[in-house]
Amino acid sequence: EELKEVKEKYGDERRTEVVKNYEEFSLEDMIAEEDVVVTISHSGFIKRFPVSGYRKQGRGGKGVTGAGTKNEDFIEHMFVASTHHYILIFTDRGKCYWLKVHEVPEAGRTARGRAIQNLIQKDKEENITAFVAVKEFSDEQNIIMATLRGTIKKTILSAYGNVRKGGINAINIVKNDKLISVKLTDGNNDIVLGTRNGYAIRFNEKDVRPMGRTATGVRGVRLGKDDIVVGLVVMKRQATILVVTEKGYGKRSDINDYRTTHRGGKGVITVKTSDRVGKLISMMEVVDGDELVIITTHGMVIKQGIKNIRVMGRNTQGVRVIRLNESDSIADIAKVVRDEEDNDSNNEVVLNVE
């Protein structure tokens, strides 16, 4: 009698479905897809936080003097990506690792984040040199790589769609060479390589045939004695080319000052190097709204707006960007995301993913 009462009271049709066959699902199927801001610091710390919590950066550069310690850090890379997107991480030994964005630790704006080397299984001897954020591994985009000794290599992006935990080979690095820079291209971009002795060569990426991941690449620039490559630029914006020397001199030049030629040549003078201005240490694509951080060997940290560096002819020495002590020189330069303390809090940020 009790069973009949229960059946009459609760005897509705089954609301769940029992199936024998089911489709496999991945971890991403259980993770909400949302846009996040990913930041990577100069010292290699990474974190993510919701894009809704980020506001527009303020304008205008300012300088600060560092304490002369390695604790001075700043955000060097920032991009917006979905939690289902990927970050490709390249090392100087030509290896590629990737992280899914949802694997990046979530942290507040003032938090330091986590060291990238603790998130990937790289060798201690490897140094991270580049990051590329991608939505998907498309055949329509390419990875362009440049090495210290002037080699250039192009591989279709889809070749990196199945990276193992221990990484994969992105380029074969020969003895005494290093991978120094990696960029994403669309198949039609112009490339500029800059060298330590002040030369630059511009050519279209179609001049570099696609190769497999294990290939060495081809000659991008013919280097003179004791010369090395210090910069790879992929032209994507209506921008200028910034060059900075080790003695603190710099300038911007119009991209049209660099005629398009074929890869493998010596290039043209991009800055007149001398004992007074030193060797070329950095080359990058910039626009007026960008900002630089310059770090010296004595621990000085200077932040400066790009718009304060004037556009000059290619075959000149440039002007003093930072005043250095006699024994000091520039150690590193980076484009930087400005501190939120400088923000205009009334404006929401507008960010794009390549």
Name the residue type at position 220. Answer: G
The answer, yes or no, to whether residue 341 has pLDDT greater than 50, is no
Rounded to whole angstroms, the Cα distance separating 210 from 154 reads 5
Rounded to whole angstroms, the Cα distance separating 71 from 172 reads 34
Confidence (pLDDT) at 66: 32
The secondary structure of 237-300 as a DSSP string is SS-EEEEEETTSEEEEEEGGGS-B--TTS--EESS--BTTTB-EEEEEEE-TT-EEEEEETTS-
Burial class (CB in 10 A: 0-12, 13-18, 19+), 31: middle
- Which CATH fold topology does 33-55+63-339 show? Neuraminidase (2.120.10)
Tell me how crowded residue 144 is: count the other CB atoms within 10 A of its CB. 22
In the beta sheet, which residues pair with residue 77?
A: 40
Task: Indicate the length of the chain as a whole number.
Answer: 354
For residues 223 and 166, is the Cβ–Cβ distance under 8 A?
Answer: no
Domain coordinates in residue numbering, the chain: 33-55+63-339
Confidence (pLDDT) at 201: 96
Q: What is the mean pLDDT of the chain?
A: 82
Rounded to whole angstroms, the Cα distance separating 290 from 294 reads 13
Least confident of 105-114, 129-138, 242-251, 330-339: 330-339
For the segment 272-287, the average pLDDT, to the nearest whole number, is 91
Rounded to whole angstroms, the Cα distance separating 257 from 241 reads 10
Q: How confident is the model at residue 20 (pLDDT cuts 50, 70, 90)?
A: low
Residue reference for tokens 């074929």: 262
The answer, yes or no, to whether residue 17 has pLDDT greater than 80, is no
Q: How confident is the model at residue 182 (pLDDT cuts 50, 70, 90)?
A: very high
